[in-house]
Amino acid sequence: MKRFIVNRYFVPKGFSGITLYPFVFTNKDSHLNDARFVNHERIHLVQQRELLVIFFYLWYVIDFLIKLLKYRNKNIAYQQNIFEREAYQNDHNQEYLAERKPFAFLRGK
């Protein structure tokens, strides 16, 4: 888990962690032992890698801004973000990354 780093300064207020490829920053040591948290952030690492990192960030921001305009609520915009939906819908499944198809975030519910 060398890619997982505890550093409260990199994690936005109100969040448990942030993935900045190839690293995952968290604000608490206990998150490193939380299988669901780790799996959620690993899903983001795969998403970022398949979109060559920069396109992930561009798409993430654009999608967030569109959802913010639509819902007028930053929490809902975050939850409805195309990448967050995939991660939240599958972070409980520890086998998900082994069976995940490329660009699975496009097939979200």
One pLDDT digit (tens) per residue for the chain, 109 residues = 689 999 989 999 999 999 999 999 999 999 999 999 999 999 999 999 999 999 999 999 999 999 999 999 999 999 999 999 999 999 999 999 999 999 999 997 5
CA neighbor of 97 nearest in space, from 50, 19, 43, 48: 43
| CA dist., res. 75 & res. 34, Å (int) | 23
Give residue 14's region: left, alpha or beta (phi > 0; psi -120 to 50).
Answer: left
CA neighbor of 82 nearest in space, from 55, 17, 94, 16: 55
- The stretches of the chain forming alpha helices (DSSP H) are 35-50, 54-71, 74-79, 82-90, 96-99
Token pair listed for 72? 């007028």
